[in-house]
Amino acid sequence: MLVMRKLLPIVILSIISLLVVSCQDNTEQPIKHAQISDGQPKFEKEGELSFLKPDGAQIVKINIEVADDDASRQQGLMNRSFMSNEQGMLFIFDKQEPQAFWMRNTIISLDIIYVNTQKEIVSIVEDAAPFSDRSLPSKGPAIYVVEVNGGFCAQHGIASGDKIDFTTK
């Protein structure tokens, strides 16, 4: 009987907690990409992107996810602890203008590549520090932004003046 009296408050709190959780409003915005078992977004190939020299020679090709609406652009690559070197994210904006990104809730270091309407790289932020709220602006107007693993551009010799070309589903 003494054990029951000691356990009763715990049982009551457990029941109340379950009721509170089950009654919460779960009307969140739908997530564009599937989740993997640890809660991180799963990479979903939505196209391919090639990095090109100014003469059109291909440097390297990657698979991309596309962020082309406000929700997917805000989510970006946040909360992912891994991305292969053959993957990246292409952000597509409505108009060309100076862009600026930050690394809030971004676990991995990224190279952030700003690209204009002619698909020419206008600037690159290399090895952006994870979890930083520091603004990382483009050095010119951009309509596209490509994010790849930190060190990718140095590894492949990608620089301002190079170009991109991409296809999406």
Q: What is the mean pLDDT of the chain?
A: 85
118: left (phi over 0), alpha (psi -120 to 50) or beta: alpha
Establish if 38 belongs to a structural domain. no
Question: Is 40 part of any domain?
Answer: no
> Which domain range does residue 84 map to?
47-168
Q: What pairing do the DSSP bridges indicate for beta strands 47-52 and 163-168?
A: antiparallel
pLDDT at 164 over 90: yes
**Higher pLDDT pick, 93 / 20:** 93
What pLDDT, on the 0 to 100 scale, is given for residue 42?
87
In 4-162, DSSP assigns E strands to: 47-52, 58-67, 87-101, 110-115, 121-128, 136-149
Confidence of residue 26 (pLDDT cuts 50, 70, 90): very low
Question: What pLDDT score does 5 carry?
Answer: 54
Q: Is residue 11 part of a domain?
A: no
Q: What are phi and psi of 19, to 5 degrees?
A: -65, -45
Which tens digit of pLDDT belongs to each residue from 86-115?
999 999 999 999 999 999 999 999 999 999
| 143 in any annotated domain | yes
In angstroms, rounded to a whole number, what is the distance separating the alpha carbons of residues 101 and 123?
13
Number of domains into which the chain is organized: 1
Q: In what order do the strands lie in the sheet with 110-115?
A: 121-128, 110-115, 136-149, 87-101, 58-67, 47-52, 163-168
pLDDT confidence band for 33 (50 / 70 / 90): very low
Contact yes or no for 77/87 (Cβ under 8 A): no
- Provide the residue type at 110 as one letter: L
Task: Give the global pTM.
Answer: 0.78
Q: Is there a domain that residue 37 lies in?
A: no
Q: Is residue 144 part of a domain?
A: yes
Residue 17 lies in a domain: no
Find the CATH number of the domain harbouring 137.
2.60.120.1140
Does residue 137 sit within a domain?
yes
In the predicted structure, residue 129 carries a pLDDT above the cut 90: yes
The predicted structure's pLDDT at residue 7 = 55
The pLDDT assigned to 40 comes to 78
